[in-house]
Structure 1
Amino acid sequence: MDPHNRAQDVLRCDLCEENVVQMHCDTCLVKLCKTCVGDHISSDEREDHKVVRFQFRKCIPVYPTCALHDSKRCEMHCQQCTVPICFICATSEKHVGHRFRKIVDIFDEKKREFEKKIKDIQENIRVKHADQASKMEKRIADIEKEFTILLDTVSKHGEELKREIDQIVKEMQSEIKSIRKNHMELLTTRKTEVQQNLTEIDKEVSSLKERLDSNDINKVFHFTPNNKIYKSLSDDPVLTMPVFSTKRIDSVQLREMFGTLSDIVTKPTAITKVRLMETPLMVHRIATGYSHLYGVAFLDRIRIWATGDAQQIKLFDVNDNSIKKSIDTKLSGEKLVSVTIEGDLLYTEKGGRTIHIVKREQSEKLINLQGWRIQGFCVTSAGDLLVVMTSVSDYDRETRVVRYHGREEKEIIQFESKEKPFYSVGPNQKCICENRNFDICVADRDACAVVVVRQDTKLRFRYEGNPSSLRKTEFKPKGITTDSLSNILVSDLGNGCVHVVDQNGKFLTFIDCPRVQPWGLCVGLDNYLCVADYASGDVIKIWFLQ
């Protein structure tokens, strides 16, 4: 039986719970059938039972019996002692000077309060919970549909490949099903919570109605509705659909080249929404074997490229710190590294003119500049290449950012306005990255600033450090990267920390790196920050988002 519609059911005898109600005891407020009247009266002969036909039942308040005077009813309420009292108690020394109220007045006030609570629950709280339950039902259906499409896409891509990748297809489907299960469990759990709340709300309404219809003062007087606990609704779980990105098959790394699922957030916002931690934690160090470490770049979730004061660029597993691969560049100076969206390594020498790409263990030239030297570069989310370069000429020197698509030059980003350049001219490296909102972010060490330019090549802001918090030297940015919240992270070598600013240039916090000289930076898919420690040659893995 639906508690919400209980009033529509036939009333049954309170004693036998089977026969239809015909009589009513006005003394005990008990519903009776004719058969049970005798049993009820004989059950307590001390009471003066007033049994009448149900339709003629009276609505006379049943006052509580005085705890001190058995034969007296408590018709007053002592405001100081907050207890019901009879007339004899009211005239006793115990209550001299106390203020009294008629208990029936408080009884009526309580009933009016219950009426308001019932209205609030039925017209507001229950409606909201019912809407959310409906919303969860629709979201579950939508998620199921989207995952079905995603699974079909993976299957079609797998069918186009050779027999040796069948096992990889199964593994990818297993990952998707696991994520789908996680999504469904979160949504189903939330739906169950909402439905449980609805059940409790219905019970609360039923209980309030029972007391609203009751003349039992004890029953009404000592009951307090719990509307407040149902007023606030938890936020819906944030579910990000993974995106399947296909890759060209490589016979050496089939699993890696088959494709990847995008990073996902599957936890309820109210509990684990991704945010900056108040106190970031150093998780562990990766010993690279370099005396000095310059740059780091994630290949995937667990592997990271590192470059230092040697010709070799090394690939490490961030979990077990083991070396997976080493590339001999034949370059002895400081090297800059990045990774294409296909997973190919890019590298160049700082101040050099050539960007190399490593495919199938072989290095080849991707871009070769004339009249310009490379100061920094990065790969964009669209697969383009952004290169910071400074002119070779000692006269009329310039710095600019050039966007390449493959080997083709697409765009030059150089001037804020006529003859007013974005970037300084100087010998230092200028690290660059693309933010998630497609801003171009350059750590301009010679200008002591981070220069952020919008996708339409308009200046968004310049960040020149946080003067109130500088502890040793002026702000001279070195490495730069971004996170999943579109925050910009900049290494401050002289002050041993990483500055974190939002996408609009507002300073958020420092990530202190004690006894570390932070150089290059990168953030992985699991939201861990990896810092190249120039002094020790180690990669420092930091947990800074939760």
Structure 2
Amino acid sequence: MTSQLLCKSFSMDVVEAFKSTWFWIFQKKGMKKESIEVTSDRQVRKDTRYSRTFLSLPVLEQEMSTSYQPLWRMKITDAIIYVSGDDNCIQGIESATGICQKERQTSSGNSPDDFTVDVTGEIIYVDWKERHVCRFKDTGEIESLLKLRGWKPWAVCCSISGDILVAMRSEDTKHARVVGYQGHVKTREYKLDHRRQALFGSPIFLTENGNLDVCVSDSQYNRVTVIDCKGSLKFHYHGNQAMTMYPTFYPRGIATNSQCDILVSDQENNCVHIIDHMGQFIRFISSKEIPLKAPYCIQVGSEDELYVGEYHQGTIKKIRYLQ
């Protein structure tokens, strides 16, 4: 009995120490469990290049036009910006000049519903109509990586661990999930939360954060869902903190920066929400600061610069928002 009391007392002392150090974190129930998760996340943040602060006002540094109206998807790699729209091509645009340097065409002739670029520089895209996940090889050939049965892929990204994450909906549109693959082997699956409720309705964009969280924007539930590295629901972000300015929330593109903040484009409200890795609202990049019109796809560059693709205009805007 004495030993148990001592262990309990020691555990309480540890929790109190966490409270005194990071008092702002402990505002919800389940404090001890949350403190462990936050400690892990904070360690990842310490491993980033350096800590940065927000500019008082964001700065529009560059603006370039594309041939896509609408502009659906965008990926940033080194000096090339890859974009796609409602044709069967993925174009590579030189960021310094805005000149198209590369163009790849899908094997089916369908529009690529989403694409990503792996560590080797090869493009992986999803074809919703054909239920395919394909890769453009350096040789110019197109390799079929996956042929899904009963599911249609909608979004894709490459994870830090090396597998490919694919967001998909069932053919009857009643179910949705995110699945990781190494080759044809399924490595993980996110579909239901701990209450057996659906995590996703219509996952439209996804990315992986630097702390290994999987971040998904959902056009059916109008929310952002974040799954932690253990596969558990971490939080849903509904834009509630921002409703004093915007009563609705229409999340589309999603990206993360070196500090594990999550950036989400809000197409209807012409702004970008920035939240931290625990789902707490930080700030907007709004159309009052930067002229944004229907921001859709977004990406963060190697220096934390934000690229915003405007859906109807087909314009890409490079924005500096961190010092």
Q: 2:91 & 2:247 partners in 1: Cα distance?
A: 32
Which position in structure 1 is the counterpart of 2:161? 382
Query: What is the rounded CA distance, in whole Å, between the counterparts of 1:326 and 1:534 in structure 2?
Result: 20
Moved over 4 A (4+): 467-473
Question: Could you say what secondary structure the match of 1:296 adopts?
Answer: strand
Which residue does the alignment assign to 1:335?
Answer: 113
Whether 1:454 and 2:228 are equivalent positions in the alignment is: yes
| TM superposition shift of 1:515 | 4.2
Compared with structure 1, are the counterparts of its residues 468 and 539 closer, same or farther at alpha carbon in structure 2 (3 Å cutoff)? closer
Which residue identity does 1:307 align to in structure 2?
S
SS at match of 2:91: strand
Deviation for aligned residue 1:334: 5.6
- Equivalent residue for 2:300, pick from 523, 526, 537: 523
Superposition RMSD in Å:
2.1
Tell which structure's C-alpha radius of gyration is larger.
Answer: 1
Please tell me whether the aligned partners of residues 112 and 125 of structure 2 are also in contact (alpha carbons under 8 angstroms).
no
- Correspondence list, 1:302-451, <5 A: 302-329=79-106, 330-333=108-111, 335-350=113-128, 352-360=130-138, 361-393=140-172, 397-424=174-201, 426=202, 429-451=203-225
CA distance, structure 1, for counterparts of residue 129 and residue 199 of structure 2 = 20
Match of 1:108 in 2: none
Pairing of 1:9-408 with structure 2 (within 5 A) = 273-300=51-78, 302-329=79-106, 330-333=108-111, 335-350=113-128, 352-360=130-138, 361-393=140-172, 397-408=174-185
1:399/1:414 contact within 8 Å kept:
yes
In structure 1, stretches of 5+ residues that fail to align are 1-238, 241-262, 266-272
Q: Tell me: CA distance 1:309–1:458, structure 2 relative to 1, closer, same or farther (3 Å).
A: same
The whole-number CA distance in structure 2 between the counterparts of 1:414 and 1:356 is 23
Q: Deviations over 1:130-171 (max 9, x none)?
A: xxxxxxxxxxxxxxxxxxxxxxxxxxxxxxxxxxxxxxxxxx
Q: How far apart, CA to CA, are the structure 2 residues paired with 1:331 and 1:467? A: 42
Question: Contact between 1:351 and 1:375, CA under 8 Å: does it hold in 2?
Answer: no
- If asked which structure has higher relative contact order (CA below 8 Å, sep 6+), I would say 2
Whether contact under 8 Å (2:73, 2:85) holds in the other structure is yes
- Residue 502 of structure 1 aligns with which residue? 276
1:467 is displaced (CA, Å) by 5.2
What TM-score do you get using the length of structure 2 for normalisation?
A: 0.79
TM-score between both structures, scaled by the size of structure 1: 0.48
In structure 2, C-alpha distance between the alignment counterparts of 1:491 and 1:292, rounded to whole Å: 15
**Greater strand proportion:** 2
Contact 1:350-1:376 within 8 A present in 2 as well: no
Could you tell me whether the CA contact under 8 Å between 2:292 and 2:310 is conserved in 1?
A: no
Say whether the 8 Å CA contact 2:110–2:129 is kept in structure 1. Answer: no
Q: Distance in 2 between matches of 1:537 and 1:470?
A: 30
Alpha-carbon separation, structure 1, partners of 2:59 and 2:69: 24
Query: What is the distance in 2 between the residues matched to 1:368 and 1:541?
Result: 36
